[in-house]
Chains A and B, each alone.
Chain A
Amino acid sequence: DVKVTQSSRYLVKRTGEKVFLECVQDMDHENMFWYRQDPGLGLRLIYFSYDVKMKEKGDIPEGYSVSREKKERFSLILESASTNQTSMYLCASSLSRGARMGQFFGPGTRLTVL
């Protein structure tokens, strides 16, 4: 079974802190994604990566950056956390030609910024 893990289930940070969210997948997937999920807004794509060191902006990249130095790991960075970044963050991965299997999601990190 594909496994996508995220470094924390719950995280509390203060405004202005630098925050790192880590995601690791164990199935050699080329594609990795970071979403945030807010009530009434569904999932919104922040960034995605289709190869090591490659990244593309999603729909809401402002205030975020990402890093993919190794194929299995995709990090989301909040350079200076703000209260409006309080949200559930979901990581996902998929095969490059594996549309039929869809995306595989991690359990999510619920981030609270005080």
Chain B
Amino acid sequence: SQQGEEDPQALSIQEGENATMNCSYKTSINNLQWYRQNSGRGLVHLILIRSNEREKHSGRLRVTLDTSKKSSSLLITASRAADTASYFCATDASGGATNKLIFGTGTLLAVQP
């Protein structure tokens, strides 16, 4: 059961531009998380936003959450070639201590130098 769907599937931008990725999900959640994966490697946790929060910032990352639309967006400002990676949203609907996540299909971001 795929909870999160990312849009677009792939995104190519120039260094210095902003990159926006969107995520939609289906059911009520406790929190939504964004992860990054460099090619052929494991995922790295970037940021978490709780269901009662609307916006969160961390460095060049800005995440928004609209629970009425069941959607979230990840904005990377002033992108760098090193930001090239796949980005996944993941929703936690467990309501308990397991932190069980359901991942989306990911957005492949390519930042051209």
Q: Report which A residues bind B (CB closer than 8 A).
A: 4, 30-31, 33, 35, 40-45, 48, 50, 56, 59, 88, 90, 92, 94-108, 110
Contact = CB atoms under 8 A, between A and B. Distances in A.
A96 to B, nearest CB: 4
A42 B100 contact: no
Interface in B68-97: 88, 90, 92, 97
A106 B44 CA distance: 9
Nearest to A4: B42
Given A107-B41, A108-B41, A31 B105 contact: no
B103 interface: yes
A92 B45 CA distance: 11
A44 to B, nearest CB: 8
Interface in B2-30: 2, 4, 30
B28 to A, nearest CB: 15
B1 A102 contact: no
Nearest to B44: A105
Contacts of B40: 88, 108, 110
Interface of B: 1-2, 4, 30-31, 33, 35, 40-45, 48, 88, 90, 92, 97-106
B56 to A, nearest CB: 11
Contacts of B30: 99
Nearest to A102: B45
Nearest to A90: B42
Nearest to B97: A96
A2 to B, nearest CB: 10
Contacts of B105: 40-42
B100 to A, nearest CB: 6
Nearest to B5: A42
A29 to B, nearest CB: 10
Contacts of B90: 43
26 contacts: A30-B97, A40-B105, A41-B2, A42-B106, A43-B88, A43-B103, A44-B103, A48-B98, A50-B97, A56-B98, A59-B1, A90-B42, A92-B42, A96-B97, A98-B99, A99-B99, A101-B45, A102-B33, A102-B45, A102-B48, A102-B99, A103-B43, A103-B101, A104-B45, A105-B35, A108-B42
